[in-house]
């Protein structure tokens, strides 16, 4: 009665679906345009990518950037194309780019796919680790015809990191507690990128390995960890001095901690330090200065470091 | 002579609503953060110098509108169906575990770095879809094993599974590496993005098939709302009808969720709105909710991408903010009317 | 005239204790059968067994000479219409929509009513005096009006058998009589078989031809026969545990319940003239 209808309808649907997919996959082998050797209109979808582009001397070639691209100052003046988390595809297209730089996480991958379908050149970079950063700088250099400046930048950063390593080699590693939230207390664990930073800056994470990336810490664990230095991520960029004061007030609850006793509590702007870009080595040096003030005593300029 | 719903009357209503939807979509296609002109769009893709207006219209706006329309239709119809099966005006498409199932599927895909693709969908889409269906199947089994009072058992099973899976999601989120977490949380908020045409075609076929299936059993859904005993007395095989309705609703919701994350409010509010305007007859509710659901989400998405200029909001925020007061106004206005608009 | 309902050795219980044990009766076509008994005697259970909502633990039920189990739901709905207690549905259907649902067993795949279906609905509304509510939502009606709508729905279903579970609760006096008049009319003019559960013994005696008196657990005894055979003061006292006074009107015996304050009256027999028609 009704059965033959239903079966044939389902069969028809399956056939249609199969054909559509097959046809589209077939078409997918379109030839992309050959990217220009020296693109004149670059759009960057992430703040660290913007910094790299500027560092390679392409200030006049970059026509638009994500709205959270804030460094250098000229970057904030460029056309905005949405945020790092939600790029505005329309604005990107309207900027008529011949090269779009994106990062390799899902949201930006979706935008990259759309742009590629519209035959816009996209370079996707995976930057989650330091060596990936250095590779990315060279990739951008190659794509923009600025391989030499790129190599130089990579060399500079590598040299800075090596110098830092040498400087810090003899020093004892202080225990560092990196606080990302105070209410409730949550810190960066040993599996995080932050942990790598701490180690590069010549320190050691105060807490033992945990399953969670950013575990909450109770008072007991806090006392056991006994950090020598507490670094706290600031909320936003304003009022760093105020945040510093309220942080110091907060930690007086645990006067026995070495960090509190020795007044080694620092509020820093996470963007500067956690952003994997050309200023990365500067960021590590900043942390190292807090961890080993004795080694950096000559170059330490108290006021300005905190404000950066 | 009494008047009942006829094919002619229903077709008339459907055509009028479809026409309104078409007009709405045309208007929304021309609205966005970049102003484009229709005449420029008509000039085609452009050879040496790409036609920006065309690229934006065809590459960004049209796919988004179509996706919004499909997802809106799917969620609205699923909402109508679940409200009928569960005899509960507060039911929404996610109540029986689809939301947490899709979320879990997505998170597992991201954390485990799975790379299965199927029919051109990304691994995330595929895993979210499978997660949603697997969870709904689990809820159905648990709910029907419990025996006689199918509706209550289903509801309880759904609540329990949702709670348990949500806890698992929270745990997995806390152990995943940071960039992955933030992405999945964001995805769970619901987003309309530009999908490739073949995915839109396949989804359109699946969702339309599901909606037509629901329409075919819509008069039995009317009877189901009177209770199991009453429906059986009127000749409905309640177990089979409930299973069919459940399967279709779960399928179209899983497709919608795998494409756009969890967009809330649509599946709860649109059925009520359409009921207030047209009455509770499911033969009308199913097709008209699909159309009005599409319209709602198209408008919501247009607002989401234009209201704050460059900042693009997730569409779920707009549906929640806009949906609430809109519904209150509608309720106040029509609850006093005695007869329905027929 | 063959039997339209044939019950053999019917046994059923919700758990280990049976409510109905070895129940058997044969109901001929076009009769009015009343099911009576105290609360918990199994009247509604029997009704649910008769419309296949429940399955017997033992025994069989035949509808129109076919085992009830062999009927698919749709076909059974074309034979039996059920009227239960009224209720307000979750969604606001109008009276017309509710009554039209009765035509569902006869509709095609997509379920749209045709001219004949509308005629049945119209007729049913007229017979139950609910036509004036046709476009009002069910929730706006009183309990009694809703009850009549559910009865109209059963009529629109156009089945040879009507099962009713206390159809006159919530109805005012006029409508109680009207409904029973209607049921009797359907029996006599349209040859419908009426099976009604009712607490009202006197209405039963007036209208029903056959009575089934259930005693319920633990004995699960029953009486089946003409109303005069089944009802007497002794029988009523035994089954219902209530004293009644027998009153004879127009050759039929009716029963007035007696309580502590009814006064000193044993067998009051009055000869009255034939009641006005």
Query: C53-83 pLDDT, tens per residue?
Result: 999 999 999 999 999 999 999 999 999 999 9
State the DSSP string of B156-175: HHHHHHHHHHHHHHHHHHHH
**Residue B215 sits at the chain C interface (C-beta within 8 Å):** yes
Predicted confidence (pLDDT) per residue in A65-92, tens digit: 998 888 888 888 888 888 888 888 999 9
CA distance B13 to chain C (A): 15
Q: What are the residues whose beta carbons fall under 8 Å from the beta carbon of B264, sequence distance 6 or more? A: B92, B94, B190, B316, B319, B320
Contacting residues for A304 by C-beta, under 8 A, at least 6 apart: none
Distance CA B280, CA C91 (A): 6
Residue B90 touches chain C, beta carbons under 8 Å = no
Question: Which residues on A lie below 8 Å from B33 (Cβ)?
Answer: 88, 90-91
Helix (H) or strand (E) holding A201: none
Enumerate the residues of chain A whose CB falls inside 8 A of the CB of residue B251.
none
pLDDT-derived band at A248, boundaries 50, 70, 90 = confident
Mean pLDDT of chain A: 84
On chain C, the residues whose CB falls within 8 A of the CB of B6 are: 112-113
Using alpha carbons, list the distances in angstroms from residue A272 to A153, A174, A236, A268, C81. Answer: 18, 22, 11, 8, 78
Return the pLDDT at B340: 42
- Tell me the percentage of chain A whose pLDDT exceeds 70: 90
Put simply, the answer to whether C91 touches B338 (Cβ < 8 Å) is no
Kindly state the tokens that stand for C110: 């997509």
Task: Decide if B147 touches C, using CB distance below 8 A.
Answer: no
What is chain C written as a DSSP string? --EEEEEEEEEE-SSSS-SEEEEEEEEETT-EEEEE-STTSSHHHHHHHHTTSS--SEEEEEETTEEGGGS-HHHHHTTEEEE------SS--BHHHHHHGGGGGG--TT----HHHHHHHHHHHHHTT-GGGTTSBGGGS-HHHHHHHHHHHHHHT--SEEEEESTTTT--HHHHHHHHHHHHHHHHHH--EEEEE-S-HHHHHHH-SEEEEE--TTT--EEEEEHHHH--HHHHHHHH---EEEEEETTEEEEEE--TTS-S-S------PPPP-
Question: Is some CB atom of chain A closer than 8 A to the CB atom of B193?
Answer: yes
pLDDT in tens, A133-143: 999 999 999 99
Share of chain C above pLDDT 70, in %: 94
Tokens 């009797």 sit at which residue? C184
Instruction: Burial-class residue B290 by CB neighbours within 10 Å (0-12, 13-18, 19+).
Output: buried
At residue C264, the pLDDT reads 60
> Cβ–Cβ of C73/B5 closer than 8 Å?
no
Chain C residues close to B222, C-beta within 8 Å: 93, 97, 101
Over residues C89-147, the pLDDT tens digits come to 889 899 999 999 999 999 987 889 999 999 999 999 999 989 999 999 998 998 888 99
- Tell me the sheet residues that pair with A267: A232
Phi, psi of B291 (to 5 degrees): -70, -45
Question: Which H/E stretch holds residue A125?
Answer: strand A122-125
Mutate to test the interface with A, among B184, B198, B205, B244 (most CBs of A within 10 A): B198
pLDDT confidence bin for A303, thresholds 50/70/90: very low
Compute the nearest-CA separation of C65 from chain B (Å).
19
**DSSP letters spanning A60-105:** TTEEEE-TT--SSGGGGGSEE-B-SSSB-HHHHHHT--SEEEEESS
DSSP string, A229-284: EEEEE-SSSS-HHHHHHHHHHHHTT-TTSHHHHTT-EEEE-HHHHHS-STTHHHHH
Q: B339 vs C135: CB contact, 8 Å cut-off?
A: yes
Question: Does position A304 have pLDDT exceeding 60, yes or no?
Answer: no
The closest CB to that of A90, out of B34, B205, B209, belongs to B34
Shortest alpha-carbon distance between residue A293 and chain B (Å): 30
For residue A168 the two structure tokens come to 């810090």
pLDDT at site B45? 75
pLDDT of A156: 92
What does the CA dihedral A139, A143, A149, A151 come to, rounded to 10 degrees? 30
Contact A111, B56 (CB under 8 A): no
pLDDT surpasses 70 at A35: no
Q: Which tokens in the block code for residue B158?
A: 């759904």
The pLDDT of residue B190? 85
In whole angstroms, give the CA distance from residue A120 to residue B52.
11
B311 touches chain A (CB under 8 A): yes
Distance, in Å, from the CA atom of C143 to the CA atom of C166, rounded to the nearest integer, reads 13
Beta bridge partners of A42: A62, A99
User: Within an 8 Å CB–CB cutoff, is residue A188 touching chain B?
Assistant: no
A81 touches chain B (CB under 8 A): yes
**pLDDT confidence of A26, banded at 50, 70, 90?**
low
Compute the distance between CA of residue A129 and CA of residue B139 in angstroms, rounded to an integer. Answer: 42
List chains touching A (3+ CB pairs under 8 A).
B
Helix, strand, coil percentages, rounded to 5, for chain A = 50, 15, 35
Cis peptide preceding C270, ω within 30 of 0: no
Assess whether pLDDT exceeds 80 at residue A7: no
Q: Could B2 and C112 be called an inter-chain contact, meaning their C-beta atoms sit closer than 8 Å?
A: no
Residues 6 or more apart whose CB falls under 8 angstroms from that of C46 comprise C10, C20, C23, C35, C212, C214
Q: What is the pLDDT along chain B (342 residues), one digit of tens a residue?
A: 788 888 999 999 999 999 999 999 999 998 888 888 888 777 777 767 778 888 888 888 999 999 999 999 999 999 999 999 999 888 889 888 888 898 888 888 877 777 667 666 677 788 888 999 999 889 988 888 876 667 888 888 888 999 999 899 888 887 876 666 677 777 778 888 888 888 899 999 999 999 999 999 999 999 999 999 999 999 999 989 999 999 999 999 999 998 998 898 899 889 998 998 999 999 999 999 999 999 999 999 999 988 887 778 889 888 988 777 877 776 776 565 433 433
Q: What is the pTM for the complete model shown?
A: 0.86
Q: How many residues does chain C have?
A: 277
- Other C-beta atoms closer than 10 Å to the C-beta of A59 total 13
How far does CA B102 lie from the centroid of its chain? Answer: 14
Q: How far is CA A267 from the centre of its chain?
A: 19
Q: Is A25 near chain B, with CB under 8 Å?
A: yes
> Which subunits have 3 or more CB–CB pairs within 8 Å of chain C?
B
| Cα–Cα distance, A65 to A46 (Å, whole number) | 7
Smallest Cα distance from C70 to chain B, Å: 14
Structure tokens at A93: 């297209």
Chain B residues whose CB is inside 8 A of the C77 CB are 233-235
CA-nearest residue of chain A to B203?
Answer: A17
Residues present in chain A in total: 308
CB pairs under 8 A between A and B: 109
Strand C210-214 relative to strand A229-233, pairing = unpaired
Q: What is the pLDDT of residue C24?
A: 92
A253/C95: higher pLDDT: C95
- Of C214, C164, C147, the closest CA to residue C47 belongs to C164
- Give C-chain residues touching B237 at CB under 8 angstroms: 72-74
**What mean pLDDT is reported for chain C?**
89
CB contact under 8 A, B196 and A24: yes
| Inter-chain touch A21–B202, beta carbons under 8 Å | yes
B169 half-sphere exposure, CB direction, 13 A CA radius: 24
Residues of chain B found within 8 Å of residue C45, distances taken between Cβ atoms = none
> Does A299 contact chain B (CB < 8 Å)?
no
Please give the residue of chain A at the shortest CA–CA distance from B311.
A82
Q: Do residues C210 and C27 touch, judged by C-beta distance below 8 A?
A: yes
Of C73, C87, C100, the CB nearest to B237: C73
* Whether B196 and A117 lie within 8 Å, measured CB to CB: yes
How does residue C45 score in pLDDT terms, banded at 50, 70 and 90? very high
C250: left (phi over 0), alpha (psi -120 to 50) or beta: left
Q: Which residues in chain C touch residue B215, judged by CB atoms under 8 angstroms apart?
A: 110
Name chain A contacts of B177, Cβ cutoff 8 Å.
Answer: 191-192, 213
User: Does the beta carbon of B7 lie under 8 angstroms from any beta carbon of chain C?
Assistant: yes
Given a cut of 90, is residue C250 above it in pLDDT? no
Mean pLDDT is lowest, of A1-5, A108-112, A215-219, A222-226, for A1-5
Residue B150: per-residue pLDDT: 76
* Cβ atoms within 10 Å of C163's Cβ, excluding its own: 26
List, in order, residues 6 or more apart from B22 with CB less than 8 Å away: none
Comparing CA positions, the residue from A207, A228, A206, A196 lying closest to residue A292 is: A228
Torsion angle (degrees, nearest 10) of CA C242, C247, C249, C252 = 50
B35 shares contact with chain C (CB less than 8 Å): no
- DSSP letter (8 states) at residue A32: P
Does A191 contact chain B (CB < 8 Å)? Answer: yes
Q: What is the DSSP letter of B118?
A: B
| Angstroms from C75 CA to nearest CA on chain B | 7
Angle at A122 between CA A118 and CA A128, to 5 degrees: 140
| pLDDT tens-digit map of C176-235 | 888 899 999 999 998 999 999 998 899 999 999 999 999 988 888 899 999 988 998 999
Q: Which residues of B touch C53 (CB under 8 A)?
A: 229, 232-233
Contacts of B120 in chain A (CB under 8 A): 21, 24-25
Least CB-CB distance to B1: which of C53, C80, C118? C118
Bridge partners (DSSP) of residue C193 are C161
Q: Is B44 on the interface with A (CB under 8 A)?
A: no
Tell me the three state secondary structure of residue A121.
Answer: coil
């Amino acid at each position: 009665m009704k059965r033959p209808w239903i079966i044939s309808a389902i069969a028809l649907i399956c056939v249609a679906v199969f054909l559509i997919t097959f046809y589209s996959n077939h078409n997918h082998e379109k030839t992309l345009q050959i990217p220009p050797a020296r693109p004149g209109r670059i759009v960057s979808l992430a703040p660290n990518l913007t910094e790299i582009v500027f560092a390679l001397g392409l200030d006049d070639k970059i026509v638009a950037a994500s709205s959270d691209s804030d460094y250098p100052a000229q970057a904030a003046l460029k056309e905005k194309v949405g945020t790092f988390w939600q790029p505005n595809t329309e604005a990107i297209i309207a900027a008529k780019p011949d090269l779009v730089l994106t990062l390799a996480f899902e949201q930006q991958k979706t935008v990259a796919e759309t742009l590629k379908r519209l035959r816009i050149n996209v370079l996707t970079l995976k930057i989650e680790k330091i060596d990936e950063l250095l590779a990315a700088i060279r990739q951008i250099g190659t794509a923009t015809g600025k391989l030499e400046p790129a190599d130089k930048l990579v060399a500079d950063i590598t040299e800075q990191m090596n110098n830092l390593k040498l400087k810090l080699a003899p020093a004892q590693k202080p225990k560092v507690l990196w606080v990302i939230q105070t209410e409730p207390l949550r810190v960066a664990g040993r599996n995080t990128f932050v942990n790598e930073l701490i180690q590069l800056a010549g320190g050691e994470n105060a807490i033992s390995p945990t399953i969670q990336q950013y575990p909450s810490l109770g008072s007991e664990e806090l006392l056991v960890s006994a950090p020598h230095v507490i670094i706290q991520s600031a909320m936003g960029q304003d009022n760093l001095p105020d945040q510093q004061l309220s942080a110091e007030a907060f930690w007086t609850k645990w006067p026995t901690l070495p960090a509190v006793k020795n007044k080694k509590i620092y509020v820093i702007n996470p963007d500067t330090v956690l952003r994997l870009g050309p200023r990365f080595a500067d960021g590590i040096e900043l942390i190292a200065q807090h961890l080993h003030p004795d080694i950096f005593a000559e170059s330490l300029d108290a006021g300005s470091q905190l404000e950066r | 002579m009494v008047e009942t719903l006829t094919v002619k009357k229903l077709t008339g209503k459907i055509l009028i609503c479809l026409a309104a939807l078409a007009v709405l979509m045309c208007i929304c296609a021309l609205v966005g953060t970049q102003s484009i002109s229709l005449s420029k769009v008509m000039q085609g893709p452009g050879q040496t110098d790409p036609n920006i207006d065309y690229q934006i219209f065809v590459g960004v706006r049209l796919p988004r509108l179509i996706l919004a329309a499909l997802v809106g239709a799917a969620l609205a119809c699923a909402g109508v169906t679940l409200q009928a099966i569960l005899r509960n005006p507060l039911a929404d498409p996610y109540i029986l575990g689809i939301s947490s199932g899709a979320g879990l599927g997505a998170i597992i895909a991201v954390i485990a770095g799975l790379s299965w693709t199927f029919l051109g969908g990304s691994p995330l889409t595929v895993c979210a879809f499978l997660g949603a269906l697997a969870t709904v199947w689990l809820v159905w089994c648990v709910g029907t094993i419990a025996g006689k009072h199918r509706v209550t058992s289903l509801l309880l099973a759904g609540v329990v599974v949702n709670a348990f899976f949500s806890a698992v999601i929270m745990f997995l989120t806390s152990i995943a590496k940071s960039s992955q977490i933030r992405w999945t949380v964001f995805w769970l908020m619901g987003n309309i993005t530009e999908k490739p045409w073949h995915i839109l075609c396949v989804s359109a076929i699946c969702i339309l098939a599901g909606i037509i299936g629901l329409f075919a059993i819509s008069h039995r859904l009317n009877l189901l709302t009177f209770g199991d005993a009453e429906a059986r007395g009127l000749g409905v095989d309640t177990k089979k009808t409930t299973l069919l309705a459940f399967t279709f609703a779960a399928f179209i919701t899983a497709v919608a969720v795998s494409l756009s994350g969890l967009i809330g409010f649509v599946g709860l509010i649109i059925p009520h709105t359409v009921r207030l305007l047209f009455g509770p007859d499911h033969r009308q509710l199913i097709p008209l909710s699909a159309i009005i659901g599409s319209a709602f989400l198209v408008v919501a998405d247009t607002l989401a991408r234009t209201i704050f200029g460059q900042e693009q909001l997730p569409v779920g925020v707009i549906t929640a903010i806009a949906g609430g007061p809109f519904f209150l106004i509608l309720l106040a206005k029509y609850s006093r009317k005695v007869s329905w608009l027929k | 005239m063959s039997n339209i309902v044939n019950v053999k050795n019917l046994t059923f219980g919700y758990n280990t204790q049976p409510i109905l044990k070895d129940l058997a009766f044969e109901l001929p076509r076009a009769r009015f059968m009343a099911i009576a008994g105290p609360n918990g005697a199994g009247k509604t259970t029997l009704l649910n067994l008769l419309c296949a909502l429940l399955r017997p633990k033992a025994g069989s039920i035949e509808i129109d000479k076919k085992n009830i189990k062999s009927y698919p739901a749709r076909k059974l709905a074309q034979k039996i219409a059920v009227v239960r207690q009224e209720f307000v549905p979750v969604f606001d259907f109008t009276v017309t929509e509710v009554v039209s649902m009765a035509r569902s067993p006869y509709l095609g795949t997509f379920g749209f009513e045709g001219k004949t279906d509308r005629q049945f609905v119209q007729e049913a509304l007229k017979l139950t005096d609910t036509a004036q509510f046709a476009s009002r939502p069910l929730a706006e009606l009183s309990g009694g009006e809703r009850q009549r709508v559910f009865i109209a729905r059963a009529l629109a279903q156009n089945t040879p058998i009507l099962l009713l579970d206390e159809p006159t609760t919530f109805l005012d006096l006029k409508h109680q009589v009207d409904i029973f008049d209607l049921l009797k009319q359907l029996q006599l003019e349209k040859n419908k078989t009426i099976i009604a559960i009712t607490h009202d013994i006197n209405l039963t005696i007036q209208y029903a031809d056959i009575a089934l008196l259930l005693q319920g657990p633990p004995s699960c005894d029953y009486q089946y026969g003409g109303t005069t055979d089944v009802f007497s003061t002794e029988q009523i006292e035994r089954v219902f545990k209530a004293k009644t006074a027998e009153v004879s009107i127009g050759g039929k015996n009716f029963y007035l319940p007696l309580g502590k304050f009814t006064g000193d009256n044993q067998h009051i027999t009055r000869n009255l003239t034939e009641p006005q028609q």
